[in-house]
Amino acid sequence: MNVRANQSQPPSETRPTVATAPGKAILFGEHAVVYGRPAIAVPVTDVQARATITTGERGTGVRLVAADLPAPDGRPGGRRYRLRDAPADDPLRAIVELALAAFAPGGPTGAGVGGLDSEPDLQVTVTSTIPIARGLGSGAAVATAVARAIARYFGQLPRSDEISRLVYEVEKLHHGTPSGIDNTVIAYEQPVYFVRGEGMKRLSVGAPLSLVIADTGVVSSTREVVGDLRHRWQAQPERYEGLFDEIGAIARLARSAIERGDPRAVGRLMDENHELLMTIGVSSPELDRLVKVARAGGALGAKMSGAGWGGNMLALVESHRAQIVADALCQAGAASTIFSQIS
């Protein structure tokens, strides 16, 4: 962690400090990326997480307000709580503490919240239009927005790799053994070709890609899906390593197709990737149905995206057919659709 506390400027006492971060979609390579194969991910700027930092009353410490997160008792209205009262494994608490340690004056010293001598008086307000537990990177986006806002509040302009490293620590709370792709693509806000342990490479998009993203409405836990697949990989390592190799090979071919601007080849590879994700057991009947509907509606290709067992699927379309495909997906039971263009 690169700490630059001595360079911090006094925070603004009057104006709120705001930062945002986009969602993300994995085009190729989900799950196999955890086992060292390449993956391709893109930012989805049509949905956003937003963090606002304001100065609180003296002596109140850090207060967290998350209107879009469900309350612990399940009632609507979101969450309002003091940082010091949150559980140690609360992701919002974790990113606030990490960001304060990295960017606030006086940290880290080993004392107080985030390693600070005393807890600053702040209110951290989080809102998000990114569906939770649907494979669009909601947790990483919220953490990115919070880290950026805290840095700006204290007069810092952190690099994307600094933010990504902080958010990766929070991703461990969400997912157990994250690949690192969510925090990378969201922190850099650009299409990336990613290999775990090797970092990211900027992906050039030869021709715009038009995506219809459809939500099954089914909530799934990335931690549970990843854990289940790991158990099956441990029981049959040769079989799953072979399948991961096939997924990795598709991601490499897709990189070339994207860079040369060949959307039809990209669509065919999406279809192949989905078949392999079905084989490794991470798809679901709801995802498979929407994939078939998208293809029947004229999509160039379609696949699930993210952890699976629910969440979202992607359809690559010609832009003039986007609404046709989106309408067909909604008629087939999709809870919602998002149109996003990647360039």
Least confident span in 29-33, 40-44, 223-227, 296-300: 223-227
Q: Kindly report which listed range (69-83, 285-299, 304-318) carries the lowest average pLDDT score.
A: 69-83
Average pLDDT of span 33-42: 94
Domain 5-201 has CATH 1.20.58.340: no
Tell me which H or E stretch contains 313. strand 312-317
Residue 88 has pLDDT above 90, yes or no: no
Most confident of 173-182, 197-206, 240-249: 240-249
Taking each continuous run of H as one helix and of E as one strand, the counts in the chain are: 9, 11
Mean pLDDT check: name the lowest of 12-16, 69-73, 142-146, 181-185.
69-73
Mean residue pLDDT of the chain comes to 88
pLDDT at 146: 97
SS3 of 203, please? coil
β strands within 37-133, DSSP E: 39-55, 62-66, 79-82, 122-128
- Please state, in angstroms and rounded to a whole number, the distance separating the CA atoms of residues 151 and 98: 11
Residue 233 has pLDDT above 90, yes or no: yes
pLDDT at 106: 67
> Any idea which architecture 205-342 has in CATH?
2-Layer Sandwich (3.30)
Residues 193-222, mean pLDDT to the nearest whole number: 91
| pLDDT confidence band for 186 (50 / 70 / 90) | very high
Higher-scoring residue by pLDDT: 116, 269: 269
Q: Which residue has the higher pLDDT, 11 or 249?
A: 249
pLDDT at 225 over 70: yes
pLDDT at 60: 86
Phi, psi of 40 (to 5 degrees): -125, 130
- Select the more confidently predicted residue: 131 or 262: 262
State the pLDDT at residue 176. 67
Give residue 199's pLDDT: 78
**What's the rounded mean pLDDT across residues 216-232?**
91
Residue 310 has pLDDT above 70, yes or no: yes
Is pLDDT above 90 for 111? Answer: no
Rounded average pLDDT over 325-336: 97
Whether the predicted model's global pTM rises above the 0.85 cut: no
**The pLDDT of residue 110 is above 70:** no
- 155 near 87, Cβ under 8 Å? no
Is residue 204 within 8 Å of 317, Cβ to Cβ? no
The full set of domain ranges for the chain reads 5-201, 205-342
Query: What pLDDT shows up at residue 179?
Result: 75
For 182-217, b where at least 16 C-beta lie within 10 A, e where not — what string?
A: bbbbbbbbbbbbbbbeeebeebeebeebbbbbbbbe
Which are the catalytic amino acids?
A: 182
| pLDDT at residue 4 is higher than 90 | no
Residue 164 has pLDDT above 50, yes or no: yes
72: pLDDT strictly greater than 60: no
Residue 133, pLDDT > 80, answer no
